[in-house]
Chains A and B, each alone.
Chain A
Amino acid sequence: MAITSVKNLKEFSTANDRFEGAHLLCPGCAHSMIVRELMNCTDDNLVIAANTGCLEVSTAVYPYTSWDTSWIHIGFENAATAAAGAEAMYKARKRKGTLKDPDAPVKFVAFGGDGSTYDIGFQWLSGAVERGHDFTYICLDNEVYANTGGQRSSSTPIGSSTTTSPAGRISYGEKKMKKDMVTIMAAHGAPYVAQLAPNKWKIMAKGFQKALSTEGPCFINTVSACTTEWKFDSKDTIHLTDLATDSLVFPIYEIIDGQELNILYRPKNILPVRDYLGAQGRFRHLFKPENEHVLVEWQKRVDAHWERLQRREEARV
């Protein structure tokens, strides 16, 4: 696989962008930072499938496309299936010798939001991983159905106010916990599963390169801060992602072959979860005295998750 050097940012910046501007994602959207980085970290031909979601509707507004690679969209749920199908066809045609350029390296990538990954496309993703297609699935996790107006998904964390779990006099917002998708995908026995964040660009680029060069189905959950639904200023996307990774709400780690867990980033100063929650409008109501118990619960769960990850890393099982 032809990889772009990610030794330092200057070297990385010589990559030629294959994701064009003038897409219609919100200003400051982390989706495009993640997509750009994936497409910049390799020179190989890419076949990209996308689930319905912000990324899909904003980058393929007829008659425009922002993609300089092969790109396909079918339905809400089946980016994984589309990528798997393309990969199966590619292999079959390679075997039959009907490819125009059989030596050209090709990578298959599927993008989905958290709604289409955690909820609607879960069965399709699970099936494609189980069948063992050689593709990389990247979930752009913004913890809400942002494209349709901010409904809750099973990725929405506790206490978050969304349009279908609004906070008010009676409710403190979303009542349920976030689904642990990374562990679920690791349990499929996928050769490479990781959670990455765009503020740590080098770790993310290396993770992408590892996933692309690994044969078999790989799953990557990326934190994608949403200025519109998380309710913060567009300039703070990277700052907020910093808060997310440094407060360990989104720990950065990888799981290889469903077994070996490596923590890829340990913050020097672990921030309290309050700092992360307080920076977003969707959690503002949690700072009322009657919702104090949700904040305590938040911190307790984040601490427990971090403890579990460290134990798993030590135990190597």
Chain B
Amino acid sequence: MQGVCATDKRGSKELGSEELVGWDEVMQGVVVNSFEGDATDIARQKAEERNYSEFSSYTATVASWRVIKPVYNRDICIDCQNCWVWCPDTSIVSRDKQMLGIDYDHCKGCQVCVEVCPTNPKSLLMFAEHEDLDKALAQWPQKEKKEK
């Protein structure tokens, strides 16, 4: 289904050449559908099972906002899901109670996930956007001793 626009031809006409219509003929607002086809069972479908339409922001990206990116270290993670519950951008991918990784299309690099990570050393750390993932994992810090 397509989004319905107030004037279907918006953008295709030169400014000022619009036909005049009465107030009761103007269709106001816009309807956009997040999904193609049937969408009655969305709450029980995982993102990969859904049929997103081109209007869902799921199909868009904000990756260019980032200057630093979180890198995930599976070896240290305890699957506490703190990062999942507090990620403001739905960018932590968790399936079956396991943290799988970071959705770099939607992550804005806010660093909240790193701050709420309880492990020692942290299983999420920020690196420069251009840093190679393997290189980042290779320079992971060691466990910090607690100061008494």
Contacts and interface: CB of A to CB of B under 8 A. Distances in A.
A288 B55 CA distance: 50
B63 to A, nearest CB: 9
B105 interface: yes
B43 interface: yes
A43 B43 contact: yes
Nearest to A44: B43
A10 B97 contact: yes
Contact of A101 (B40, B89, B103): B40
Interface string B14-47: 0000000000000000101011000110111111
Majority secondary structure of chain B interface residues (helix, strand, loop or mixed): loop
Contacts of A19: 90
Contacts, number: 141
Interface string B52-89: 00111110111001000000000000011110111111
B115 A236 contact: yes
A44 B110 CA distance: 30
Contacts of B42: 16, 18, 68-69
Contacts of B96: 14
B88 A29 contact: yes
A45 interface: yes
Contacts of A12: 81, 85
A90 to B, nearest CB: 16
A63 B47 contact: no
A198 B82 CA distance: 12
A65 B85 contact: no
B62 A63 contact: no
Interface in B102-148: 103, 105-112, 114-116
Nearest to A6: B85
A63 B109 CA distance: 24
A25 interface: yes
B55 A28 contact: no
Nearest to B49: A16
Contacts of A222: none
Nearest to A19: B90
A68 B53 CA distance: 11
Interface string A76-115: 0000000000000000000000000100100000000000
Interface stretch (A31-39, A172-180, A252-260): A31-39
Contacts of B81: 9-10, 12-13
B86 A67 contact: no
8 contacts: A16-B42, A20-B58, A22-B61, A22-B106, A62-B32, A64-B55, A198-B86, A238-B112
Given A68-B50, A238-B86, 5 more contacts: A18-B43, A22-B58, A22-B60, A25-B88, A237-B112
Interface of B: 3, 30, 32, 34-35, 39-40, 42-47, 50, 54-58, 60-62, 65, 79-82, 84-91, 94, 96-97, 103, 105-112, 114-116
Which 6 pairs show the lowest CB-CB distances between chains A and B?
A21-B106, A27-B110, A235-B111, A28-B110, A27-B108, A9-B81
